[in-house]
Amino acid sequence: MTMNITMNAIQNVILIFPEERPVFLREVNNNMYKVGPYFWAKIISELPFSIAMPSVFGCITYFAMGLNPQASRFFLFLFTLILIYNASSGYSLIISATFANKQVAVTLTPVLIVPFMLFAGFFVAASSIPVFLKEFEYLSIYKYGYQALLRNEFMGNEERFPCGYQNIFSFTPEDYRNGTNY
């Protein structure tokens, strides 16, 4: 979920700003407006899409995967997806503003995104990340997205997931066939 919504947001934004950049620079250099009003106008004009896109995606995937049926969990799930989408859009605005050439921005985006994926704790355990790279873990959009979505689904939901550390290692194939102890 987090990777899908993040990549969707990045691809939607990374291709747009380089097209607008020459016009933006010309108008700012001619003192038509400052950077702040342009930024806020861009954010506000894209806000309906930035809410609708993750909401539609979330409505389809939430029920297709059979996640927790409580309404509060569903709306927290949607809110989390909207936050992930907007944070990723902001990150891609930074990337596209840094590089003037659209091809360079598109080419370097995976190089700049993959370290955040690695330090999120999904591919590499947080305990195995070297101390001098630990700060990158806290900059990762993926880390906070994973944590929020996992907490939303599993915290306070022990009746659906009764498995604990005490019985993980005592589980046998016979228990699986009988439908007990899981």
Structure letter (DSSP) for residue 122: S
**Is 111 a member of any domain?**
yes
At 161 the pLDDT is: 61
* Letter string b/e over residues 141-151, b meaning 16 or more CB atoms within 10 A of that residue's CB: bbbbbbebbee
Of 39, 17, 12, 19, give the one whose Cα is nearest residue 28: 39
Both structure tokens of 102: 């659209």
Distance linking the first and last C-alpha atoms of the chain: 26
**Is 104 a member of any domain?**
yes
- Whole-model pTM: value is 0.80
Q: Indicate if the pLDDT at residue 83 is higher than 90.
A: yes
Q: Which of the pair, 172 or 129, is modelled with greater confidence?
A: 129
Decide if 60 contacts 5 (C-beta within 8 A): no
Please state the domain count of the chain: 1
Residue range of the domain that includes 68: 2-155
**Is 171 a member of any domain?**
no
**Is 174 a member of any domain?**
no
104: amino acid identity, one letter: V
Helix/strand/coil percent split, the chain, to 5? 75, 0, 25
Query: Which pLDDT tens digit goes with each residue over 4-16?
Result: 999 999 888 888 8
Structure letter (DSSP) for residue 52: H
166: amino acid identity, one letter: Q
